[in-house]
A = this chain, B = another copy of it.
Amino acid sequence: MNLAQNSEQSDTREFILEKAIHLFAGQGYSGVSMRNIAEMVGISPAALYHHFPSKQKLYLDTMQYAFADKSTGIKEAINTTGTLSERLEDFIRQFTKMVAADQNFQRLMQRELLDGDEARLKLLAEHVFLDTYQSITELINELATDWDAHMLISSIAGLVIHHYESNSMRQFLPGAKPEHNDPDVVASHVNRLFQQALQTSKREK
């Protein structure tokens, strides 16, 4: 019995995946060639086919590898202590930090939303986001009973993700400041928007 069986696929494979994440995030599937990846890894294109049977499979494995740890990362962003309001605020702050810290993740997500087929997007939804999504749904259903939880979660994601994904263009619009990319500033802004919107709902009941 080989104790290392599970983790031993040679680490060249993982090294390839790391490089592939960066390339696919930057140029997309059709913008990256096997030659590009091979060059970045430091091996010949043919050697890639020893680790992956095709470019398609290499891409799919890259996505799986890139999103695997994110699933747990997002899950851990949900605290189980504090008031509902504090837990939502904390999640938004953690989620913002994640998006801000990993541009590759953000860009790969964008590209999957644009180019992913139904099966792939379903996998992404269920394997990466579902658990967290359900936790936040529960939280919101208790915190803001008169809101549609699905729409509110889409709003949280949209506020954070779009802010970072639009940065490349937003920087050319008036009023843009460097601190607008500071995850703490962004999270505070989003939190204020939500706290005040949800607070008003309560008052008016």
A163 to chain B, nearest CB (A): 5
A125 to chain B, nearest CB (A): 4
Q: Given that A163-B154, A173-B130 are known contacts, is A196 also in contact with B189, CB under 8 Å in the complex?
A: no
Is A56 interfacial (CB 8 A cutoff)? no
Pick from B114, B151, B193, B194: contact of A28, CB under 8 Å: B114
Name which residue of chain B comes closest to A128, CB basis: B169
Q: Given that A30-B28, A173-B133, A193-B193 are known contacts, is A157 also in contact with B166, CB under 8 Å in the complex?
A: yes
Q: What is the number of residues of chain A that contact chain B, defined by CB distance less than 8 Å? A: 61
- A125 pairs with B196, CB closer than 8 A: no
Q: Hey, which chain B residues are within 8 Å of A122, CB to CB? A: 172
Q: Hey, which chain B residues are within 8 Å of A54, CB to CB? A: none
Which residues of A175-205 are within 8 A (CB) of B? Answer: 175-177, 180, 186, 189-190, 192-194, 196-201
27 contacts between A and B (CB under 8 A): A29-B31, A30-B30, A30-B31, A31-B115, A110-B113, A110-B114, A113-B168, A113-B169, A116-B169, A121-B169, A121-B172, A125-B173, A129-B169, A134-B174, A151-B180, A151-B189, A154-B180, A157-B162, A157-B166, A158-B159, A158-B166, A159-B162, A193-B197, A194-B197, A196-B197, A196-B199, A196-B201
Extra A-B contacts (4), CB below 8 Å, given A151-B180, A158-B161: A28-B30, A29-B31, A110-B114, A113-B169
